Structure 1
């Protein structure tokens, strides 16, 4: 599978959306407002950091050092 920009963006949005919907639907007592205002942004920031680290690791592996 080739990961171009649209494919990567779709996977990113889908994974975050599944996590947010799952947290909203779960009977944990966490309000929807809390999930949308605190949890979702932290999930997005974490995903962007992990994406950046993975990208740099892939570049490192591709060079073959």
Structure 2
């Protein structure tokens, strides 16, 4: 499977949506807490990991 920008954004959004839905559905935290604190933290952490992964892939592809 070739990943381009569109597929990457789609998979990223689906993962965040599944995580948010699971946390809200399980009821371990208040919905407001999940939506205002946890979901933005998941997005930022995911974006950092995605950026590091892309840079590592670029590094590996030229060596």
**2:2 is matched with which residue?**
2
- Which stretches in structure 2 are left out of the alignment for 5+ residues? none
Deviation by residue 1:12-59 (Cα, 9 ceiling, x = unmatched): 00000000000000132x110000000000000000000010001001
Whether 1:35 and 2:41 are equivalent positions in the alignment is no
RMSD: 0.6
Shift of residue 5, structure 1, vs aligned partner = 1.0
- Which stretches in structure 1 are left out of the alignment for 5+ residues? none
Structure showing greater Rg: 1
Q: Distance in 1 between matches of 2:27 and 2:38?
A: 16
Runs (4+) of structure 1 exceeding 2 A deviation are none
**Paired residues for 1:1-65 under 5 Å:** 1-28=1-28, 30-64=29-63
Q: Distance in 1 between matches of 2:9 and 2:22?
A: 20
Aligned residues: 63
